[in-house]
Amino acid sequence: MNKKSSFGIGPAGHWLLFAGFPILIITILAASTLRDGNIRGINEKYLPYVVFLVPSAIFVGCRVLYHHVSKRVVIPIGVTCWILAFLVMCWFFWFGPGAIGYHA
């Protein structure tokens, strides 16, 4: 009988880990541009398009990048990016938008 381990990470698990990379990009963009519930520099007329299309474009771009990254570095990159995204959002909510770089 073949002794293959059933505890490995499959393709979906690799993508979920690597999804930390686009999440980190979106988190940094959100933390650096949000001010009083609005994205600075964006007109209210275009806000729904920006909120939907920018993260979608980032995810599609990172999905293409995922196919060019070696599978042995997907896990360290993904875990690191998830941790950094969590830390950026904690920093943003603890200290406010002024701590990230926006001073009104």
The tens digit of pLDDT for each residue in 41-94 reads: 778 888 888 889 999 999 999 999 999 988 889 989 999 999 999 999 998 888
The predicted pLDDT at position 101 comes to 54
Q: Determine, yes or no, domain membership for 53.
A: yes
The predicted pLDDT at position 31 comes to 83
98: Cβ–Cβ under 8 A, 6 or more apart, which residues?
A: 104
Q: Determine, yes or no, domain membership for 95.
A: yes
Q: Determine, yes or no, domain membership for 78.
A: yes
- What is the rounded CA–CA span in Å between residue 85 and residue 30? 11
Number of domains in the chain: 1
pLDDT category at 1 given cuts 50, 70, 90 is low
The predicted pLDDT at position 72 comes to 87
Q: Determine, yes or no, domain membership for 44.
A: yes
Q: Determine, yes or no, domain membership for 65.
A: yes
Q: State yes or no: pLDDT of 98 exceeds 70.
A: no
- What is the rounded CA–CA span in Å between residue 20 and residue 104? 30
Q: State yes or no: pLDDT of 102 exceeds 70.
A: no
The tens digit of pLDDT for each residue in 7-28 reads: 778 888 888 889 999 999 999 8
Does this model's pTM top 0.85? no
Q: Determine, yes or no, domain membership for 9.
A: no
Parent domain of 57? 15-32+40-99
Angle subtended by helix axes 47-66 and 20-33, to nearest 10: 150
The predicted pLDDT at position 59 comes to 93
